[in-house]
Every structure is written in C-alpha cells, then in structure tokens.
Amino acid sequence: MKERKLDQAVNELQLAVFLNPTNAAIQSALKAVLDMKQAEEHYRASLTFTDLGRLGEAQSELNRSVDLDPENAKYHEALDKLQKKRDAEPEDALTLSSDKPITLNFKNTNVKEAFELLAKLSGINILFDEEVRAQPVTVFVKDVSFYQAMNLLLSTNKLFMKKISDDTIIIVPKTKAKMEQYQDLVVKTFYLNTAKSKDMVNLLRSMFEIKKIYVNEPLNSLTVRETPEKIKLIDKVIAANDLKEAEVILDVEILEISRTKSLKYGWNFTDSLTASASLQSTSTSSTGGLTLADLRNLSKDNVLLKLPGVVVNLIKQDSDAKTLANPRVRVLNNKQAKFHIGDKIPVQTSTTQATTVTQVTSTFEYKDVGIKV
C-alpha cells in the first residue's frame, strides 16, 4: 500500500478475506484500499475535465478524491491549484470546448457571421438580441484567446454579452436601456450593530446611485436591491463604518494635602539671652565676700560664670495626603464628561415676614458643594 500498488493489494486482501472472513482488521484494510483506488479514478477524471475546461466538474471529482483518501497530499495540491485557477477566471467565464489560439480575418463582413465563426471555434452557443443590427465589420487578429477576440468584436461594435449558461451567451447592444434590462439585481439586508440606519443610508446615497433601498428603523437595518458588484461595494462601506465609537477611561484621584509642613534644625536659645560672671571666695570661713588674700591668690576656682539655656532642634514634619475620592469615569471619545464629588446642602435664599402675624418664612435652595470636574 505504501508503494501505491493498489491492484496487487486488492487481490491479496481479497484472498485474505476469503481465507479468514471473520477478521475485522483485514476487512477494514480492504475497504481502505478500495477507497484509495476509487479516489485515484476520481483524480484521473478531474484531469480529463480540466483539459476540457470544465473546471466545476473537475473540482467535484477532486473533492471526492480528498474525501476517499484524505491523507494523499497529491489530491490536496491539485485541489488548491484548481481553486486558484477558478478564482483567477472572470465571473462570466464560459466552458469552452477548445482553448486553442484563434485567428480572425474579416473585411466588411456581417458582424453576426463573425460571432458565428467564433462560436464554432470555441464550441459555445451565441444568441442575438432583437436589436442587434447586421452591420459590417473589418477585423484581423492572429493567435489570440477566445476572450480577447470576443472583447474586440464587442468593443468595436458597441455591444456587450450576457452569460446565460456555462456554454451560452447573448449579444446585446450597449445602450443604457438594454444594460438595465439585462442587468442582474439581487436583494440583500444589512443589519447594523452600532451605526444608525438613517445615517448609513445618507452615506450610501452620497457615494452610490442606488436603485432601491429601504430603511427599517426598529430593526436598524437596510435592505438594498442592486447589482452584485455594487452590493459588494456597499458591504465593504458598511463594514468600514459600522464600528463602535472609541471610549476613554479616566482614573481620577481627589487628594486632601496638609500644607502645614515644618523643618527645624540648629540652636534655640532661651528668651532671656544673658550671661553673667562673679568672683567667689575659696575660703570656707568666708561670709560671702573676698579677702585681700583671695585677691592676691585669684585663680579659676574664684570665677563663677552663668550662661543662658540652649536647646538643639533636629525636627522634620511632613503630614501624609488623604484620598477623598478615586472615581473611574468612562466616556466616549471626543465627548465631555462631568462628575461631582460632594453633597447637596440647603442654603437660605430669602425670608418673608407676614404683616398680620409675627411669622417669618424662610426659603431654602439645595446647592452642590464639593468638587466638580
């Protein structure tokens, strides 16, 4: 099985089932090999459809191959390539029987005959609108694709084509009335999440010439009837504008801070800043005075000094702040937000005294006090 010899594996597994029909593992292996073989057949069929230009059928066959043998990377790669090829094709791509280069050489030939030759070379069916005239055309192109030859004939004769099926188109005069007649219109409802439907419809009408549009205010939706191409543009415009408004969160803190701060350091003397000195006798028998002997023998023991008091200050005070409020305010961007931290107190505004009785009536009004931001 690893070497992808599927026929040989099927024969051997069928023989094993015949010899041991109750073995579930052998039966499961046989089913897996048969699925691989069938997946390979669908893959070969997809290659055939791709060569014929029938890409839709080729994709269907590849999808079956992937379902039957999902571990085969070859099928996934072929499916990715085919999907990219289909995405690159125009929406009105046709199923051509041949994609060989085309050569056109006409001189004063009926334009319908030119289209008929193009239909035979490509294997498609071409119909004509009743207003397509049999006007002469002169054209010479060599080795061009079907779409290049078709666009050349259409543009030089003021015509356009409308796809009816994968292998059938109709040729129509390129006039405003005919384009509106053959134009495909679709209806789509857009439900808005944030934007208002009234504002959105004004935006769309200013940018596009919309045929039909209905505003449903209760559902906040728009229903549009337009061409598929314009519907895609409208969808992009709505997606780009139906967004939530930006919001800002303000984190505010109201603090009460004491302004009585002090810082003291150095010497601080007493109020009576005085100093005095006196002489004192060293004799024990002295009555408080000094003798001649004391004056003769005067020393440091006889001198008494009185100095003022002093205080050394090394003090620093710094009070902490007190949080009064810490509100969080959520506001839309570019919008104004207000909040009040405080209370309402009654304030006397007027007094009235009656003339007949001594009764005074006061009028009070509640006013906001606190902090407003």
Q: What is the pLDDT of residues 91-108, one digit of tens each?
A: 567 777 777 888 888 888
Let me know if residue 112 belongs to a domain: yes
CA angle 264, 269, 270 (to 5 degrees): 120
313 has pLDDT over 70:
no
pLDDT of residue 280: 59
- Among 197, 219, 242, give the residue marking a domain's end: 242
Same domain, 82 and 121: no
Task: Give the predicted TM-score (pTM) of the model.
Answer: 0.38
Let me know if residue 157 belongs to a domain: yes
Handedness of CA 163, 169, 170, 175 (dihedral sign): positive
66 has pLDDT over 70:
yes
Which tokens sit at 105?
A: 């050489």
Please give the share of the chain, as a percent, with pLDDT higher than 90: 3
pLDDT of residue 3: 47
Rounded mean pLDDT, 146-172: 88
Q: What is the pLDDT of residues 319-372, one digit of tens each?
A: 566 777 777 777 777 777 777 777 788 887 777 776 666 677 778 888 877 777
pLDDT of residue 104: 87
Handedness of CA 344, 345, 349, 353 (dihedral sign): positive
Contact, 141 vs 104, CB < 8 A?
Answer: yes
What CATH number is associated with residue 22? 1.25.40
Confidence class of residue 246 from pLDDT cuts 50, 70 and 90?
confident
Mean pLDDT of the chain, nearest integer: 78
pLDDT of residue 87: 67
pLDDT of residue 260: 64
Cα distance between residue 330 and residue 79, in whole Å = 51
pLDDT of residue 2: 47
Let me know if residue 310 belongs to a domain: no
pLDDT of residue 9: 75
74 has pLDDT over 80:
yes
Same domain, 136 and 80: no
Which tokens sit at 207?
A: 């940018």
Same domain, 173 and 197: no
Let me know if residue 154 belongs to a domain: yes
Q: What is the pLDDT of residues 188-239, one digit of tens each?
A: 899 988 888 888 888 888 888 887 888 998 889 999 888 888 888 888 898 8
Could you give the angle at which helices 24-51 and 73-88 cross, rounded to 10 degrees?
30
- Among 219, 242, 265, give the residue marking a domain's end: 242
* DSSP character at residue 297: T
65 has pLDDT over 70:
yes
Query: Please, which residues have CB within 8 angstroms of residue 181's CB and are 6 or more apart in sequence?
Result: none
Per the structure, the count of domains in the chain is 4
pLDDT of residue 268: 63
Rounded mean pLDDT, 19-35: 81
Rounded mean pLDDT, 135-140: 89
**Pick from 139, 110, 129: nearest CA to 177:** 129
Q: What is the pLDDT of residues 289-302, one digit of tens each?
A: 666 666 666 666 66
Confidence class of residue 278 from pLDDT cuts 50, 70 and 90?
low
**Pick from 29, 184, 167, 196: nearest CA to 96:** 167
Q: What is the pLDDT of residues 30-45, one digit of tens each?
A: 888 888 888 888 888 8
Let me know if residue 315 belongs to a domain: no
**Helices of type H across 170-210:** 176-182, 197-207
Same domain, 193 and 177: no
Same domain, 14 and 64: yes
What CATH number is associated with residue 220? 3.30.1370.120
159 has pLDDT over 80:
yes
Give the type of residue at 20: N
Cα distance between residue 146 and residue 89, in whole Å = 13
Residues of the domain holding 23: 6-88
Same domain, 37 and 54: yes
Same domain, 60 and 118: no
Contact, 170 vs 162, CB < 8 A?
Answer: yes
- Among 181, 196, 215, give the residue marking a domain's end: 181
Question: In terms of DSSP bridges, do strands 125-128 and 102-110 run parallel, antiparallel, or are they unpaired?
Answer: unpaired
